[in-house]
A and B are shown apart, each in its own frame.
Chain A
């Protein structure tokens, strides 16, 4: 409400020390105990916390009501499966769709804070206090491979409604306790889950990738490895 001019206060926030973020992780640990599986702090930039799947709804409760992260940023899903189409960024066609044998896909590898399942749900919440008092955190949780279901956040953050509907139709991940998982973007009879890695992007099949020119290496650089393939076309 205050209309304070605050360019000065930005300085205090611009240097959020590691201690602040470490302390934040500690507060999550205190509140959730063992449910905090892993955490990573990128000093001065960001913090990620991975929550056990069972405690996903509880973590929202803790973040909002106990730690004051009342601002809901977004909620989404990551599909960690490597593309089965051999669509390495430099291949001109999706090899599987073109009838060629797929190259051996690299092993599935989860990103920051690790994980063990194909799908992970992630959400961003933030605390917005008086001017300059602002922090954000990315929460993650594994989505069980068999049930593909995690608890819904709608009860805690009403804004999670649309985000979960989107995640549900795009990735096929269900949210237990959501008041109405129905299509948001896609037509009701749409089949498949478009943002999954194994959902083919047909536009890539019928046309060569427009980016192929940019991948062409300069003479003398990007010699033999994957950069080179593009240049031959």
Chain B
């Protein structure tokens, strides 16, 4: 340990001053701010490079790919039954929802249809996946605005839903439960009653979040009028799900294309919001969580008896053909374009994931916003990295 002389101190200060001058020079020409790839606000490994003019973003470029797992290639060497284990990991917060469109596409090619009981349970689990996904959004959005408490509520209450999913499928996050022609197993005894009780907790959580956040001045100031997406731009970029509905586009694949699901038989509502800002996206998702709880309850009441598997061969060879089936996943439209050559494995699977399109609008929407708003806008667009990088 040596004492620091005054001379050294002066040198240090001079060096700092020199650095500061450099910074000033950079700022005049526009500073580049790098966010990520490891950053708490990006839910994973999304990197954003933003060029700034003062506090304002001139141009922002998201750089995905740090977690690309090549599922489209891997599906070519997996049997149809194995693909579900892969696609579980695309949107890992709503895993079951990832399996459904793929299975539906395979079923369309094979000309099989799941028996009614399987369709009802599918819908049920699909909405449970949506709830477990959206609950985390509702808590996480608050974190991005500086309020930490809602996140703990979210993690606490999501667990009730995950417990129910685990009781049926054996997996909290990766159920791998959907099969071509039906489901792996039937529901355990007493599950339906417990699930209905869980939905009360979900509603209580929604009320809690609404009371905590929606009226808060900071929340309003940071989200109202921030990151406005007009409907036409939203459609051009292929925004779907709650992001589109928050821009006033009244479109929900559950209602408009309910293939293989029982949504037409249920009483529910599509929520839209005309504003298109961050607040609208939060609000729509909050309402959707409540609506999903309603749907789950109705499914619990309505599940008919009967088999849970249609007659399918043990070794599944899907007849040659092409099919594109998409469903309204928690994050938006998720679809699989499946090309079959009549083999055990798909010839090609194009995975159309919602977050990929939802984030591709980022360069457009981040232009001209202030630095702190980058975080709230991205949080309100709500993406899962696995859903971008596939």
Contact A5 B268 (CB under 8 A): yes
User: How far in angstroms is the closest Cβ of chain B from A124?
Assistant: 6
Is A158 interfacial (CB 8 A cutoff)?
A: yes
Contact B237 A158 (CB under 8 A): yes
A:91-136 near B, CB below 8 Å: 109, 111-112, 122, 124, 128, 130-132, 134, 136
Contact B255 A131 (CB under 8 A): yes
Is A217 interfacial (CB 8 A cutoff)?
A: yes
Binary flags per residue of B295-323, CB closer than 8 Å to A gives 1, else 0 = 00000000000000000001100001111
Bound-state CA distance A211–B79 (Å) is 7
Is B335 interfacial (CB 8 A cutoff)?
A: yes
Contact B270 A131 (CB under 8 A): yes
Contact B236 A7 (CB under 8 A): no
Contact B235 A128 (CB under 8 A): yes
A128-B235, A134-B256 known; A78-B339 Cβ under 8 A: yes
A111-B322, A186-B65 known; A195-B249 Cβ under 8 A: no
Q: Which residues of B contact A1 (CB under 8 A)?
A: 248, 250, 272, 274
B:230-259 near A, CB below 8 Å: 232-233, 235-238, 240, 244, 248-251, 255-259
Interface residues on A, range: 35 or more
Q: Which residues of B contact A4 (CB under 8 A)?
A: 250, 270
User: How far in angstroms is the closest Cβ of chain A from B345?
Assistant: 4
Bound-state CA distance A88–B356 (Å) is 31
B:255-272 near A, CB below 8 Å: 255-259, 263-272
Bound-state CA distance A210–B263 (Å) is 37
Q: Which residues of B contact A7 (CB under 8 A)?
A: 255, 263-268
Contact A89 B350 (CB under 8 A): no
Contact B269 A46 (CB under 8 A): no
Is A66 interfacial (CB 8 A cutoff)?
A: no
Q: Identify the A interface with B (CB < 8 A).
A: 1-7, 9-11, 13-14, 45-46, 48, 70-74, 76, 78-79, 83, 87-90, 109, 111-112, 122, 124, 128, 130-132, 134, 136, 138, 157-159, 161-163, 170, 183-187, 194-195, 199, 201, 204, 209-211, 214-215, 217-218, 221-222, 227
Interface contacts beyond A7-B263, A186-B65: sample of 15 additional A-B pairs, CB < 8 Å, sorted by A: A1-B272, A7-B265, A10-B264, A14-B264, A72-B238, A74-B352, A89-B344, A111-B322, A124-B324, A124-B352, A128-B235, A138-B337, A194-B70, A204-B77, A211-B82
30 A-B pairs with CB atoms under 8 Å apart are A1-B248, A1-B274, A3-B269, A3-B270, A7-B265, A10-B255, A10-B258, A14-B264, A71-B251, A73-B326, A76-B350, A89-B345, A90-B344, A111-B339, A112-B322, A128-B249, A131-B256, A132-B255, A134-B256, A138-B337, A157-B236, A158-B237, A161-B360, A163-B360, A184-B65, A195-B72, A201-B74, A201-B77, A214-B82, A215-B344
